[in-house]
Chains A and B, each alone.
Chain A
Amino acid sequence: MGGSALSNSQLTPGVVPHRLPAAAYHDNFTDVAAPLDRHEAHVAADRCYFCHDAPCITACPTSIDIPLFIRQIATGTPDAAAKTILSQNILGGMCARVCPTEQLCEEACVREAAEGKPVEIGRLQRFATDVVMAKGLHPFVRADGTGKHVAVVGAGPAGLSAAHRLAMLGHEVTIYDARPKPGGLNEFGIATYKAPDDFAQREVDWLLKIGGIAIRNGMALGRDMTLDDLRATHDAVFLAIGLAGVNALRAVGEDMGHVRDAVDFIAELRQAGDKSALPVGRDVVVIGGGMTAVDAAVQSKLLGAENVTIVYRRSQDRMSASGHEQEHATSVGVRIICHAAPLAVHGNGTVREVEFAYTEETPQGLVQTGETFRLKADQVFKAIGQTLAGAPDGLALTGGKIAVDATGRTSLPGVWAGGDCAAGGADLTVTAVAEGRDAAMDMHESLQG
């Protein structure tokens, strides 16, 4: 097993590091979409029609005034553009990088209807937000202190967004997070090439410039404190704990060696300084159909795996990863097999093959056809969905998530929730930001009252 750093290649069997020449790792994990330079941004901005009651605004979960910010770029005032963006979405920089814009704003762009070529809203948003962040400008100031203190649990997009808004309105905020670093999935989940150069941490640092926010890492709700503790010591609590659990495969042999959760693999990858030292299989199988499956597959390929296959149990158009994401996967050489469900993991302590059954969609639901096949695998990633874990007792749940009303109020007085852990809304960074912001506004109102 293994092989030395010098002799490994894509063809080396097993799960080994250094499959590629050292330089390849840098190229593979750098910005997938290059930023626009000033001229390109002006050209792109000129394409915006400045629509009346623009459909892109409606399509943005945070309702950024897109035509306005694009016009501000076009007229040479990117700082003003950034303020327009950030006043609706304080993580506008990250969202510019990770939003599936082809399903959101850019899908609604009238130029998509007209020419199949929307205004490049995401890249323009990145241009504007990069400009202010590079200058170190934080265009918001805190209101006078209110004397109120809010606990935010979870330093992901939802928690950070709520914290910023609350702090801006003059409240004192403490964010508690179980992980050693803030950022949530921005730091531990999002594909490396979407936000390279430590962007997640730089964005958090920039966000904290508002003042009035303390972050306490390594503090897990349920382990280091209880919800009752927090309610007793704070005027309000916002839960933004994401989805810390994962679904099991329910296939024979899934606890064999080199079978692991895709999210863990991705978190490890995100934290690794030297990507070449990360071991990866020659034949990698990823089971699932969402963004996590795609990210695990693509990044396995970028680490040097020879064959990477995503296996999804339904038809390709039912995959929750966007068409754009799927295309990206196939463009780097990932194979996508649909209509196949895992039956068993075979091997001798560590995985050697995965057995699948073909499936078909029937009026009775998804059924196996009886025909099976096996894929060679020395590494398997499970990406069949994350689940809420560690939700405090006493909170009403719905559909396995914390039940909330339109402004994020839970069943417990003084407790709000938002982001992936809360019911409703798509599990996207931008939705988490929107929910955090809206809950903060509602908390503010109730704290003032």
Chain B
Amino acid sequence: MADLTTTFIGITSPNPFWLASAPPTDKEYNVRRAFEAGWGGVVWKTLGSEGPPVVNVNGPRYGAIWGADRRLLGLNNIELITDRPLEVNLREIKAVKRDWKDRALIISLMVPCDEDSWKDILARIEDTEADGVELNFGCPHGMAERGMGSAVGQVPEYIEMVTRWVKKHSRMPCIVKLTPNISDIRKPAEAAKRGGADAVSLINTINSITSVNLDDFSPEPMIDGKGTHGGYCGPAVKPIALNMVAEIARSPETYGLPISGIGGVTTWRDAAEFMTLGAGNVQVCTAAMTYGFKIVQEMISGLSDYMDRKGMTSTVELVGRAVPNVTDWQFLNLNYVTKARIDPDACIKCGRCFAACEDTSHQAIAMKPGRVFEVMDDECVACNLCVNVCPVENCITMVELPKGAVDPRTGAKVTDYANWTQHPNNPSVAAE
């Protein structure tokens, strides 16, 4: 079993699986049970300023979308930061940390956008012995209207300013949690770095309406006939989160900035993917909310197995492994030619590849007597749609044409690497 011990911005935890700041980490009872179950760390549910706590709605606060067998694919929420008194949270954090010294315990914070508020809250948390702070610049609902959460996270200058205050008034490692509700994720990450952040974490939830009640004509979750946009998370957001993590990891401005990957992590595989794209660890919320704390056991065994198979002895070897292979479209090899191949023995004759290619792609699949499906190489553009719609894994595969072979579709020989920047159809090439 590979050792999963991971050190992230100086904070060591027995594995890279942290619970994200959210309901699973809202109180001592949960966090103790999470640690017992094996979670490497938690980011405590976001604390606000001293004074009367925020209030939550008293009707439903989650909406969801489901896949087959009602598998939860996406969750949306209109919950705010913790609605429990600050002193209670602080007392509990201290008690938990005292008993669980080997686990990471980070405090998530969101207070009004003025230096005194931040100075004050940082002083208040000082003696909890928490390992670090995470600045919640992400919450897209409720708090944003009050000038906090994503209202800060969408303005890079504010991020930089607040991060600076935090670094000035605290010696704790500081993670800046980013909102995905922005057009270029690199900008807030750069701002956090300028402000002195030790790391960024992403993504927080995505603005969304999950569904509309077609009888009452209101978004779900519906509160007395009305609904509002909420924050979307869970497996459905993973592809968006992966891209944002990769963008930060490969950008020259932020290269090397530690990243805590969040968004739809549900299995060890998801975690490994985030890590290869540059995340030093991952945070999980929806998967724990869907299946309970126990899933971390699968994550731990799965990731160690994988690392054993790959001969890796530390998560450091995994982090960032895929980053060099994330490139821009214009640098993709246009002379890499593949053709779809249907394995007749694996084929169950559903015909979905045929419907897909015939109706919406390139009419490159022939349906022969006996429901035998065959790819016509002279039409196949290798789009991969048939592979994606085929219900049988590995029944349809993409086979690379060797160098020197003739592509029956274009009549051209497969030659060496060449990309769009070198292509004759590219106007900027022609101009040169």
As a 0/1 sequence over residues 36 to 56 of chain A, the CB contacts with chain B under 8 angstroms (1 = contact) are: 000100110011011111110
- Determine if A51 and B69 form an interchain contact, defined as CB atoms under 8 angstroms apart: no
Q: In the complex, which residues of chain B have a beta carbon less than 8 angstroms from the beta carbon of A260?
A: none
- Determine if B351 and A53 form an interchain contact, defined as CB atoms under 8 angstroms apart: yes
B348 close to chain A: CB less than 8 A: yes
- Determine if B68 and A113 form an interchain contact, defined as CB atoms under 8 angstroms apart: no
- Determine if A51 and B352 form an interchain contact, defined as CB atoms under 8 angstroms apart: yes
Q: List 23 A-B contacts (CB under 8 A).
A: A43-B68, A46-B68, A46-B69, A47-B68, A49-B352, A49-B391, A50-B352, A51-B349, A51-B350, A51-B351, A51-B352, A52-B350, A52-B351, A52-B352, A52-B354, A52-B367, A53-B367, A54-B350, A55-B371, A110-B349, A111-B348, A114-B348, A114-B392
B355 close to chain A: CB less than 8 A: yes
CA distance A54 to B367 in the complex (A): 13
Q: In the complex, which residues of chain A have a beta carbon less than 8 angstroms from the beta carbon of B69?
A: 43, 46
Q: In the complex, which residues of chain B have a beta carbon less than 8 angstroms from the beta carbon of A113?
A: 348-349
**With A51-B351, A53-B371, A113-B349 given, can you name 17 additional A-B contacts, CB distance below 8 Å?**
A39-B70, A43-B69, A46-B67, A49-B352, A49-B391, A50-B352, A51-B352, A52-B350, A52-B351, A52-B355, A53-B351, A54-B350, A54-B351, A111-B348, A113-B348, A114-B348, A114-B391
As a 0/1 sequence over residues 306 to 344 of chain B, the CB contacts with chain A under 8 angstroms (1 = contact) are: 000000000000000000000000000000000000000
Q: In the complex, which residues of chain A have a beta carbon less than 8 angstroms from the beta carbon of B354?
A: 52
CA distance A42 to B354 in the complex (A): 26
- Determine if B70 and A42 form an interchain contact, defined as CB atoms under 8 angstroms apart: yes
Q: Which residues of B contact A (CB under 8 A)?
A: 67-70, 348-352, 354-355, 367, 371, 391-392
Q: In the complex, which residues of chain B have a beta carbon less than 8 angstroms from the beta carbon of A51?
A: 349-352
Chain B residue with the shortest CB-CB distance to A43: B69
CA distance A43 to B68 in the complex (A): 7
Q: In the complex, which residues of chain A have a beta carbon less than 8 angstroms from the beta carbon of B350?
A: 49, 51-52, 54, 110
Q: In the complex, which residues of chain A have a beta carbon less than 8 angstroms from the beta carbon of B391?
A: 49, 114
B356 CB to nearest A CB, Å: 9
Q: Identify A55's interface contact among B67, B70, B349, B392, CB under 8 A.
A: B349
Q: In the complex, which residues of chain A have a beta carbon less than 8 angstroms from the beta carbon of B67?
A: 46
Chain A residue with the shortest CB-CB distance to B354: A52
A62 CB to nearest B CB, Å: 21
Q: In the complex, which residues of chain A have a beta carbon less than 8 angstroms from the beta carbon of B68?
A: 43, 46-47
Chain A residue with the shortest CB-CB distance to B373: A52
Within 8 A of B (CB), among A47-90: 47, 49-55
CA distance A365 to B352 in the complex (A): 46
Within 8 A of B (CB), among A240-288: none
Within 8 A of B (CB), among A95-144: 110-111, 113-114
Chain A residue with the shortest CB-CB distance to B69: A43
Q: How many residues of A are counted as interface, with CB atoms below 8 angstroms from the partner's CB atoms? A: 16
Q: In the complex, which residues of chain B have a beta carbon less than 8 angstroms from the beta carbon of A110?
A: 348-350
A-B residue pair count with CB separations less than 8 angstroms: 39
Q: In the complex, which residues of chain A have a beta carbon less than 8 angstroms from the beta carbon of B348?
A: 110-111, 113-114
Most B CB atoms within 10 A — which of A39, A51, A55?
A51
- Determine if B70 and A43 form an interchain contact, defined as CB atoms under 8 angstroms apart: yes
Q: In the complex, which residues of chain B have a beta carbon less than 8 angstroms from the beta carbon of A111?
A: 348
CA distance A47 to B68 in the complex (A): 8
CA distance A114 to B69 in the complex (A): 19
B327 CB to nearest A CB, Å: 35
CA distance A317 to B69 in the complex (A): 37
CA distance A195 to B367 in the complex (A): 41
B393 CB to nearest A CB, Å: 11
Q: In the complex, which residues of chain B have a beta carbon less than 8 angstroms from the beta carbon of A55?
A: 349, 371
CA distance A111 to B355 in the complex (A): 18
Q: In the complex, which residues of chain B have a beta carbon less than 8 angstroms from the beta carbon of A49?
A: 350, 352, 391
CA distance A49 to B391 in the complex (A): 8
CA distance A53 to B354 in the complex (A): 10
Q: In the complex, which residues of chain A have a beta carbon less than 8 angstroms from the beta carbon of B367?
A: 52-53
Minimum-distance CB pairs A-B, first 8:
A52-B351, A46-B68, A52-B355, A110-B348, A51-B350, A114-B348, A110-B350, A113-B348
CA distance A257 to B352 in the complex (A): 61
Q: In the complex, which residues of chain B have a beta carbon less than 8 angstroms from the beta carbon of A54?
A: 350-351
As a 0/1 sequence over residues 355 to 394 of chain A, the CB contacts with chain B under 8 angstroms (1 = contact) are: 0000000000000000000000000000000000000000
Q: In the complex, which residues of chain A have a beta carbon less than 8 angstroms from the beta carbon of B371?
A: 53, 55
CA distance A114 to B394 in the complex (A): 13
Q: In the complex, which residues of chain A have a beta carbon less than 8 angstroms from the beta carbon of B355?
A: 52
A42 CB to nearest B CB, Å: 7
Q: In the complex, which residues of chain A have a beta carbon less than 8 angstroms from the beta carbon of B392?
A: 114
CA distance A53 to B353 in the complex (A): 12
CA distance A42 to B67 in the complex (A): 11
CA distance A111 to B392 in the complex (A): 10
A119 CB to nearest B CB, Å: 11
CA distance A247 to B422 in the complex (A): 84
Q: In the complex, which residues of chain B have a beta carbon less than 8 angstroms from the beta carbon of A42?
A: 70
Chain A residue with the shortest CB-CB distance to B68: A46
Most A CB atoms within 10 A — which of B349, B352, B354, B355?
B349
CA distance A47 to B355 in the complex (A): 18
CA distance A51 to B392 in the complex (A): 13
CA distance A43 to B70 in the complex (A): 7
Chain B residue with the shortest CB-CB distance to A113: B348
Q: In the complex, which residues of chain B have a beta carbon less than 8 angstroms from the beta carbon of A50?
A: 352
B148 CB to nearest A CB, Å: 39
Chain B residue with the shortest CB-CB distance to A114: B348
A110 CB to nearest B CB, Å: 4
B389 CB to nearest A CB, Å: 9
CA distance A49 to B349 in the complex (A): 11
B100 CB to nearest A CB, Å: 40
CA distance A47 to B71 in the complex (A): 13
Chain A residue with the shortest CB-CB distance to B371: A55
CA distance A55 to B371 in the complex (A): 9
A57 CB to nearest B CB, Å: 12
CA distance A53 to B70 in the complex (A): 27
